[in-house]
Structure 1
Amino acid sequence: MMKHEVTKLQNSQTEISMVFEENEWKQATKKAFDKIVANLEVPGFRKGHVPEAIAKARIDNTKMYNTAIDSLLSDAYRNVVAEEKIVPWARPNVEVTKMSETELEIKISVLTAPEVKLGQYKGHHVDKKIPTVSKEQIDDEIKRIQAQNAEIILKDGPAAIGDTVVIDFEGFVDGKPFEGGKAENHSLELGSGQFIPGFEEQLVGLKAGAAKEINVTFPASYAKELAGKEAMFKIIVHEVKEKKVPEVGQALFDELKISEVTSKESFEEHVKTNLMKQEEENVQKEYYEALLAKITDLAEIDLNHDIIHDEVDAMHERLEQDVKQNGMTFEQYLEMSGQTEETLHHKLHEEAERNIRASLVLEKIAEIEEITISPELVDFEIAKIADQYKMEFDKVKEILTKDMNRFIADIKTRHIRDFLLQNND
């Protein structure tokens, strides 16, 4: 029977030492040997029927031992983790400290979930704003709704900021075209900032059918091969389009499908009600974030730097994927957001540490207050979604199956949040 010893180190590190009995190790190596022999091919012998003496001469002992270790370690590690109530945070590091035909000793280094010592988490007072909606906010929202429902129509006159032009363009640096610098029938809203500085402004005043050469300079933070270089673009304008903004009236109300609105005054009231709901949600969100930050600051957490580092890497990778899906290079994203790699890394590091600490605190509160999510509660939440979207319960459950753990985690987070809101002022 394998014997083990657990040593808790600093910074959420735990070391597990395992010593396997001679008989246990010999059985594992025998099984590994037999498994390899079953697939061993030697000229003159049928597959799986190679004599043991010949097989031993042909088999790599390192491969046999690794196979034997793998067969023992999976169950042994899982059993120790369960028995000692260890919560691994990342993949463990395995080191064989002693190995022979009769002995096997292993040391496993595990980065565990950090220990959390909560401070006060009930009875706090945090100032909460009073939600308000101004006349200016209502007017701005109405303008946004009008713009969102505007019709794009052809324009005979010259292009202006806010208009959309349909263009062919081809870019040249040092008289030569460059990759990604050419497109046909590309729709571009002037003033949107989609293109590099100076490009869109030089299209203002052009009419359909016009051709023009424009000169621009790529920003220093642009892609390395183009950064800081001067470029010339040949432009052909096919169409100029403008937005026809709808008036506030019955046609717009019908388009928005808001039957209860019949006048400008009732539309303003409708917009105000929706804005107030959003403002109330924002105020509640800000209050909860301030409350959680206060509770988190009072907690003692032995947080290993590697945990933060791994989360920063994951956040950076997700951001790169999002930027790529939006058709930008990461250099373009940094330029548009006014950041450098260094400032972005610092920002992600602060966000990662804040999020991890808050998550650990919430889990500890759930543990102490015995906040758990039962299968019945999960089914209830699924039923609510099914009712909302007029779908069959089983269909919704099937869709959620792949992300069920995340779904349950979200339910748990909401219940912890409700608990904190009920027990703090």
Structure 2
Amino acid sequence: MQIVETTNEGLKRSYTVTIPAQTITSKIEAEVKKAAPQVRMPGFRPGKVPSNLVKKLHGPAIHQEALNTSIREAMDKLVSEKALRPAMNPDVALAEGYEEGKDAELTVSLEVLPQIAAPSLDGLKLERLTVPVLDEAVTEAVKRIADQQQRYETKDGVAEDGDQVIIDFTGKLDGVEFEGGKAEKAPLVIGAGRFIPGFEEQVAGIKAGEERTITVTFPEDYQAENLAGKETTFDIVAHEVKAPAESKLDDDFAKELGLESYEQLQGLLRGQLEQETAGLTRTAMKRQLLDQLAAGHDFDVPPTMVEAEFEQIWQQLSQEAEREEDPAAALAEIEAEKDDYRKIAERRVRLGLLLSEIGQANGVEVSAQEMSMLVSQAAQQYRAEDRQRFMEYVRQDPMMAAQLRAPLYEDKVVDFLIEKAEVTEREVTRDELQAAIEADADGEKPATEDKPKKAAAKKAKKADADDADVSEEKAEKPAKKAAAKADDAAVEGDAEAKPKKAPAKKKAAATEE
């Protein structure tokens, strides 16, 4: 095999690779011998079909397989001989005009990972912002649970805002009952906004035993097309009117939740709040760490990796914009900051490569047991009958496995660095901690309370995007195999084999989706 380097500029490399015809021919002969025992042909005993007939029958397929194998082996040899660390799979093209019996000439283009000196871990200084969990916060958490578990007591008189009404309702379109528009003894809380617009308002003022017919129009974007934008009537029968009952925060309340005492409930909630604030504290420390690493290291990164990262960020932002009240304005807003998001993508790739280098240099690994747990957890989002298929899919698809592994690997490297850093502590409020997390990387302060909430939300999204994305497959190991354009038959993963999520359950037509 002959290898000729044609480009060596920065991180870009190009080669011409020539595979001798004899190499491919020998593989064809080997494939023919391997296939012959399984070939069945009238007039010949099993396994006795002559090689020339086997080649005549299956020649094109055997030749393609031999060519694909030769290309894969050539790519492995190229990576090994030239000590390459591909950033992404190489772009491999077979020269036009190739035919069996001739040398195969390939053009190979790729980007390599930059050489990064193992960074010094001395001088890292971090501040741990801690938020004490006050008794008042625990009490507020208990009250929120009480509000969610709101009890109601039967009352005389008409239903007012906040009251619960137990009703039967029957929906009709043009005088005919429609599917999903009927329910018996359904609880409705006046003012809760859980039914379609106009429904609760017209039930307000009803009393037990009263019947009434209301007219409502379904929203234009309602999921049931036969009802979307249509005017309908609902026949209502009120069975009972209830008023909110005051919840006493005591042992009896805790026992209603399945606990032994109010003290136990407080302890559980305190633990949850401490865990939540500890997570925010770690997020703030991680942000400080990444900012320090980014400020102290500047090296070229592969453009293809940056583009792939940018596309991922852009797709997420575009989807979020589509869900805004004014999608066109939201899309125009992010379009105006496209260059900023591309810089974020470059920063993420650079930090990912740097963290990976630190992890490798210091023996940070994701164990087989940890990986198995990751796959099992990810499988839980699928239906029971599809979980095993998903786990098999991950085992067969290195890229999917890398996507699952990357966040845990990053967390382990970050934890390692936090342990090595000089850490000081400062007690702050929760708002101050949240502000530190939302602050932009350039030190700009997050939106204050008197500024539009949209700006703060946007800033938070930007902060979330501005993070490292470590992938061992991308940054730790060189690509072992190249996907040749000529290898049309080689499919890494069958999209149809991916399990699908179960559809959502239907709701009554009167309720909002």
TM-score, with structure 2 as normaliser: 0.54
The match for 2:75 is: 77
The match for 1:67 is: 65
**Structure 2 contact 152–245 (Cα < 8 Å) conserved:** yes
The match for 1:283 is: 281
Deviation at 1:106, TM superposition (A): 1.8
The match for 1:368 is: 361
Q: Secondary structure at the match of 2:141?
A: helix
Deviation at 1:93, TM superposition (A): 3.5
Task: Find the aligned partners of 1:243 and 1:107 in 2 and give their Cα distance.
Answer: 75
Q: Aligned letter for 1:311?
A: Q
Answer yes or no: is 1:212 the counterpart of 2:214. Answer: yes
**Structure 2 contact 252–261 (Cα < 8 Å) conserved:** no
Deviation at 1:212, TM superposition (A): 0.9
Answer yes or no: is 1:247 the counterpart of 2:245. Answer: no
Q: Secondary structure at the match of 1:129?
A: strand
Q: 1:22–1:153: structure 2 CA closer, same or farther, 3 Å change rule? A: farther
Q: Percent identity?
A: 18
Q: Secondary structure at the match of 1:371?
A: coil
Deviation at 1:248, TM superposition (A): 0.6
Task: Find the aligned partners of 1:129 and 1:339 in 2 and give their Cα distance.
Answer: 37
**Structure 1 contact 12–111 (Cα < 8 Å) conserved:** yes
Task: Find the aligned partners of 2:83 and 2:73 in 1 and give their Cα distance.
Answer: 15
Task: Find the aligned partners of 1:110 and 1:119 in 2 and give their Cα distance.
Answer: 26
Task: Find the aligned partners of 2:111 and 2:193 in 1 and give their Cα distance.
Answer: 45
Task: Find the aligned partners of 2:14 and 2:165 in 1 and give their Cα distance.
Answer: 63
Task: Find the aligned partners of 1:285 and 1:113 in 2 and give their Cα distance.
Answer: 28
**Structure 1 contact 89–113 (Cα < 8 Å) conserved:** yes
Higher RCO, 1 vs 2 (CA within 8 Å, ≥6 residues apart)? 2
The match for 1:311 is: 312
Q: 1:138–1:55: structure 2 CA closer, same or farther, 3 Å change rule? A: closer
Q: Which runs of 5+ in 2 are unaligned?
A: 374-389, 396-400, 424-513
Q: Does 293-302 or 404-413 show the bigger shift? A: 404-413
Q: Aligned letter for 2:290?
A: L
Task: Find the aligned partners of 2:202 and 2:218 in 1 and give their Cα distance.
Answer: 9
Q: Aligned letter for 1:211?
A: T
The match for 1:158 is: 159
Deviation at 1:52, TM superposition (A): 7.4
**Structure 2 contact 162–243 (Cα < 8 Å) conserved:** no
Deviation at 1:282, TM superposition (A): 1.8
Task: Find the aligned partners of 1:18 and 1:202 in 2 and give their Cα distance.
Answer: 78
**Structure 2 contact 202–214 (Cα < 8 Å) conserved:** no
Residues 196-248 of structure 1: CA deviation (Å, up to 9, x unaligned) = 665655554456754311246547xx88x89xx85423334467777656311
Q: Secondary structure at the match of 2:22?
A: helix
Deviation at 1:123, TM superposition (A): 2.2
**Structure 2 contact 159–165 (Cα < 8 Å) conserved:** no
Deviation at 1:108, TM superposition (A): 3.5
**Structure 1 contact 196–218 (Cα < 8 Å) conserved:** no
Deviation at 1:171, TM superposition (A): 8.3
Task: Find the aligned partners of 1:167 and 1:113 in 2 and give their Cα distance.
Answer: 67
Q: 1:55–1:116: structure 2 CA closer, same or farther, 3 Å change rule? A: same
Q: 1:278–1:41: structure 2 CA closer, same or farther, 3 Å change rule? A: closer
Deviation at 1:338, TM superposition (A): 11
Task: Find the aligned partners of 1:105 and 1:363 in 2 and give their Cα distance.
Answer: 35
**Structure 1 contact 96–106 (Cα < 8 Å) conserved:** yes
Q: Aligned letter for 2:307?
A: D
Q: Secondary structure at the match of 1:294?
A: helix
Q: Calculate the aligned-residue CA RMSD, in Å.
A: 5.5
Task: Find the aligned partners of 1:353 and 1:198 in 2 and give their Cα distance.
Answer: 50
Q: How does 1:9-408 map to 2 (within 5 A)?
A: 14-15=13-14, 17-31=16-30, 61=60, 63-81=61-79, 84=82, 86-88=84-86, 90-97=88-95, 99-100=98-99, 101-110=101-110, 122-133=122-133, 137-151=137-151, 157-158=158-159, 160-161=161-162, 163=164, 182-185=180-183, 201-206=201-206, 209-215=211-217, 218=220, 230-237=229-236, 244=245, 246-256=247-257, 259=260, 261=262, 271=269, 274-300=272-298, 301-302=300-301, 303-304=303-304, 305-312=306-313, 333-335=323-325, 340=330, 356-372=349-365
Task: Find the aligned partners of 1:344 and 1:165 in 2 and give their Cα distance.
Answer: 47
The match for 2:435 is: none
Task: Find the aligned partners of 1:84 and 1:192 in 2 and give their Cα distance.
Answer: 67
The match for 1:415 is: 412
**Structure 1 contact 151–245 (Cα < 8 Å) conserved:** yes
**Structure 1 contact 149–245 (Cα < 8 Å) conserved:** no
Task: Find the aligned partners of 2:175 and 2:288 in 1 and give their Cα distance.
Answer: 55
Q: Aligned letter for 1:214?
A: V
Deviation at 1:144, TM superposition (A): 0.8
**Structure 1 contact 118–298 (Cα < 8 Å) conserved:** no
Q: Secondary structure at the match of 2:95?
A: strand
The match for 2:470 is: none
Q: Aligned letter for 1:288?
A: K
Task: Find the aligned partners of 1:11 and 1:233 in 2 and give their Cα distance.
Answer: 68
**Structure 1 contact 169–236 (Cα < 8 Å) conserved:** yes
Q: 1:40–1:419: structure 2 CA closer, same or farther, 3 Å change rule? A: closer
Task: Find the aligned partners of 1:116 and 1:233 in 2 and give their Cα distance.
Answer: 68
The match for 1:324 is: none
Q: Aligned letter for 2:414?
A: R
**Structure 2 contact 197–216 (Cα < 8 Å) conserved:** no
Q: Secondary structure at the match of 1:158?
A: coil
Deviation at 1:268, TM superposition (A): 6.3
Q: Aligned letter for 1:102?
A: K
Q: Secondary structure at the match of 1:212?
A: strand
Deviation at 1:278, TM superposition (A): 3.1
Task: Find the aligned partners of 2:94 and 2:405 in 1 and give their Cα distance.
Answer: 38
Deviation at 1:146, TM superposition (A): 1.4
Task: Find the aligned partners of 2:123 and 2:354 in 1 and give their Cα distance.
Answer: 16
Residues 33-61 of structure 1: CA deviation (Å, up to 9, x unaligned) = 67788888999989988877787777675
**Structure 1 contact 334–341 (Cα < 8 Å) conserved:** no
Deviation at 1:307, TM superposition (A): 1.4
Deviation at 1:69, TM superposition (A): 1.5
Q: Aligned letter for 2:144?
A: R
Residues 76-126 of structure 1: CA deviation (Å, up to 9, x unaligned) = 434544555545555544310263413112234446667667877652445
**Structure 1 contact 334–340 (Cα < 8 Å) conserved:** yes
The match for 1:323 is: none
**Structure 1 contact 92–108 (Cα < 8 Å) conserved:** yes
**Structure 1 contact 171–182 (Cα < 8 Å) conserved:** no
TM-score, with structure 1 as normaliser: 0.63
